[in-house]
Amino acid sequence: MSLASVALCLFSILICSLLLLITLIVFYFKRSWSFWKSKNVTDFPVVFPYGNAKDILLRKISFGEKMAKIYNECKSKGLRYCGFYVLSKPMLVVTDLELVKAITTKDFQYFTDHPIYVNEDVDPLTGHLFSLRGERWRNIRAKLSPVYTSGKLKMMFQTIVDCSPELVNVVGKCAKDNVPLDTKDVTERFTIDIIGTCAFGIECNSLLNPHSEFHKIGLRMFKQGPIDSLRSFTSMIFPQFLDFFKIPLLKKDVTKFFLKVVNETVKYREDNEIIRNDFMHLLLQLKNNINIEDESHGSGKFFKKGSDTTLTINEVAAHAFVFFIAGFEASSITLAFCLYELSVNMDLQSKLRKEIHTVLQKHDSKLTYEALMEMNYMEQCIYETLRIYPTATYLSRLCTKTYHIPDSDVIIDKGTHLHIPILGIQRDPEYFPDPLKFNPDRFSAENKAGRHPCAWMPFGEGPRICIGMKFGVIQTKVGLTTLLMNYKFTVNSKTSIPLRLVPAGHSTRVEGGIWLNVSKVEE
C-alpha cells in the first residue's frame, strides 16, 4: 500500500471518528433536552449547544435578568414553574409565590442547600455560611446566629458611625469643588472602611486613599472577565471538573490576601489578648470555644488556651471573607441606588431629610442606635431600593430529597437546581403597580400586611435568609443619615436615565456609573 493510500485511510478514519463524536454529542444534548418534557413540565425552545442560556453565556445579559424574562414568559402562560437548560443541565424556574414559600419555608427540608461550589482544600474561602451544606451548615448557622443579634450589632454601632466623618469630608470636597460625585465609588470606599474595622479590626482608610489595598482587592473580586465567567458557570454546571483539575474558583491573589490578613489579625489579638467590639472578636470567641451568649464584657479574659475549637482559622477567614463581600458589594450598591432615586425624586429626599432632623433632635443631635431604629421612612426607602434593584437578582436552591410539587404530578429529583427569579417577582405589576416607580410607601405597615410575604425577598426567605441582613441595613442607614443631613443631591448629566445595567456578572451594576451633583444643605 502506497504512502498516499495510508494517509487517505488515516484521514478517512479521522473524519469518521470526528463525525461519530459529533453525532454522539448531538445525541447527548438532544436526549438531555427532553428531560423536562418527560416530566410533563413546560420548557422553551433550545439553541445548540447553549440550551436556553445563549445570551447568558455570550455575556449579553446577566443570569438574574434572564430569570426575570423567563418569569414573565411563565406568568403570561399561567405557569407555576417551567424548565430551563444551561447547556445540557436541566433546572427549574419557580414563579408561583405559594410554591416559593413552600420551597423556602414550609418544605425547607427538601431544599436545604444552595447549589454553590465548595472546595475548601483548593479554595479555603469557599467554606463560608452561604455555601455550606447539610448538617455542617446547620451547626455553623446555629453558632453564628448570636453574632448577628440586635445586641451584638448595637455593640458594633459606634464603630460603624466612626467611619462617617471622612465620608462627609469626601462628599464635601465634591460640593466645594463643584464636581460630580462618583456615587458607587464613594459608597464602596465607605462600606470597605466599615467592614475593614468591624470584620478585621483594620483601619482601611479607603475614603482617604481610593487606592487602598482593601479597595483594590474588592474591585478585583467582582471584576469578571470571560475566564472568570467560564469558571463560574463550570462550578454550577460541572463542578467535578474544577475538583479534578484542582482549579480554584476565586482568584488566587484574593484568597492569599484574606488568609494573610486574618491570620495576622488573629495571631496579634490572641498573643496580646486584644478585645474589640467587632465581628472578628465574636468569631474568635467561637474559634476558642467560648459561648458568645455567656460573654460579659469587662469581667475576666475572653481567650482560652487549649485544643478545643469550634471554628478553624480557615473557617474564620471564610466567614470574614463573606462578611466583606456582602458589605462591600450589597450595601454599597443599595446606598448608591437609594441616593440616585432620592435625587430623581427630590420631594422624597426632602421628606427623608426632615425625618432625619426630627429624630436626631429628639436624641440631642446624636446619631445613636436608638435614633436609627426610629427612622421608619428611611427603612421604607431602603426596602423600596432593594425591591427595584435587588443585590441578589435570583435565589437558588438545591433539591436534597425527591420532592413532589404540590397540586401536580411532577416529581423533582434529588440534585436538581431550582431558581427563584427575585428581580422578576419584585418588578411584577401584579404585586407592585407601576413597578419601576420609586415609591417607599409600598413598605408602610398597612401595605406590607396586604402583600404576599414572598413578593419581596432581597435577602432570601426561610431558614437560609441572609444572616447579615440587619447589619447591611444599619450601615446603609448610617450612610444615608450622614449624607442627607449635610448635603442635597441631584442627578448629574453624566448619569444615563433610565439607568442601564451591566449585562454580565452576578451583581447589579450600572453602565457609566451613577453621578450626582452635591450641594451643602442650607441651615
Main-chain dihedrals φ then ψ at residue 329, nearest 5 degrees:
-90, -60
C-alpha cell at 184: 458607587
Terminal C-alpha separation, the chain = 99
Burial 276-297 (b: 16+ CB within 10 A, else e): ebbbbbbbbbbbbebebeebee
Angstrom distance (rounded) from CA 195 to CA 183: 18
* Nearest Cα residue to 441 out of 374, 350, 387, 377: 377
Packing angle of the helix pair 332-344, 346-362 (nearest 10 deg):
120
Q: How many CA atoms lie within 13 A of 375 on its CB side?
A: 32
Question: Is 466 annotated as ligand-binding?
Answer: yes
Do 491 and 208 touch, CB atoms closer than 8 A?
Answer: no
Q: How many CA atoms lie within 13 A of 38 on its CB side?
A: 9
Q: Which residues contact 53 (CB under 8 A, 6 or more apart)?
A: 66, 84, 85, 86, 87
Beta bridge partners of 330: none
Q: Which residues contact 487 (CB under 8 A, 6 or more apart)?
A: 171, 172, 175, 518, 519, 520, 521
Q: Which residues contact 83 (CB under 8 A, 6 or more apart)?
A: 35, 36, 37, 39, 41, 42, 43, 44, 90, 91, 92, 93
- 3-class secondary-structure state, position 402: coil
Angstrom distance (rounded) from CA 119 to CA 122: 6
Do 514 and 184 touch, CB atoms closer than 8 A?
Answer: yes
SS3 per residue for 439-464? CHHHHCHHHHHCCCHHHCCCCCCHHH
Do 183 and 339 touch, CB atoms closer than 8 A?
Answer: yes
Whether a cis peptide bond, with omega within 30° of 0, leads into 49 is yes
Element (H, E) at 171: helix 164-177
Q: Which amino acid is at 82?
A: C
C-alpha cell at 123: 479554595
Residue ranges for the binding site? 466
Residue ranges for the binding site for heme? 466
